[in-house]
Amino acid sequence: MMLKLLVDNQEIETREGKTLLQACLDNQIYIPNLCYLENVERPSASCRMCFVEIEGIKQPVPSCTVQVRDEMVVKTDTPGVRQLQRTALRLLLSVHDVDCKNCHANKNCELQNIAKFLKVGLKPKRLERYLKETQIDETHPFLNHYPNRCVLCGKCVHICRGKHGQSVLTFAKRGFDTVISTYSVTDVSSLACSDCGSCVKACPVGALALKESS
């Protein structure tokens, strides 16, 4: 069934069962997002970027968690929404090694796109920068992981689990120290990994790369 929505005073049509974020993206209405994957039953909703305001709901909500309803009235650019998005982006950038010209994702990076869209400088002034000690985690036989580029969106973990039934990559540690890790499993035969590169493709920034030799 087709539904009609009013997004930023613009009427859009979409199919029932879609998420609000998907419906907007399908209609060329951009909402910043990092962790969203299409057709995932329960969205991760971890990046806290895709906020919108929906008529009747007091606070901004992540649009990836909302199912479209007919005649929904949505605003994607209210001050409240932008405030949250900018803070989220600044927080991510405050732990990001902004060294774009040496990063393979340069000009193909979601953080750059979002920063441009939200008009936020890549080097936020108000927040101190905290980087992790490990620049590159090279323990994996096929992959290199750059913890200081990672936004912990979890796309790689999800894609890998879908592909191999178990995840080679997973979250490790807690709180601020949370990282994507392979738990230093180096024995290729015990890994479900097949250097398929799905995780690298899924990464919205340049946090994963296939090793050049492999």
Contact set with another protein (CB under 8 A): 42-49, 51, 59-60, 62, 65, 83-84, 87-88, 91-92, 94-95, 126-128, 130, 151-152, 154, 170-171, 173-178
| Shorter beta-carbon distance to another protein: residue 142 or 146 | 146
Residue nearer to another protein on the CB measure, 40 or 210: 40
Closer of 12 and 68 to another protein (Cβ) = 68
- Nearest one of 125, 212, 202 to 156, comparing CA atoms: 202
DSSP secondary structure string for all residues of 104-166:
TTTTS-HHHHHHHHHT--SS-SSSPP---S-S-B--SSSEEE-TTT-----HHHHHHHHHHSS
- C-alpha span between 92 and 129 (Å, rounded): 10
Nearer residue to another protein within complex by CB, 12 or 203: 203
Shortest spacing between CB 46 and another protein, in angstroms:
5
Contact 76, 7 (CB under 8 A): yes
Nearer to another protein, 14 or 167 (CB): 167
Rg (CA), the chain: 18
In order of 144, 174, 200, the CA distances from 197 in angstroms are 11, 27, 5
Q: Which residues are bridge partners to 62 per DSSP?
A: 51
Which residue lies nearer to another protein by CB, 12 or 96? 96
Min CB(41)–another protein separation in Å? 10
Cβ pair 52, 42 in contact under 8 A: no
103/69 Cα distance (integer angstroms): 41
Q: How far is the CB of 21 from another protein (least distance, A)?
A: 12
- Minimal distance in Å, beta carbon 213 to another protein? 31
CB 170 to another protein: min, Å: 7
Q: Pairing relation of β-strands 73-75 and 10-15?
A: unpaired
Q: How far is the CB of 196 from another protein (least distance, A)?
A: 23
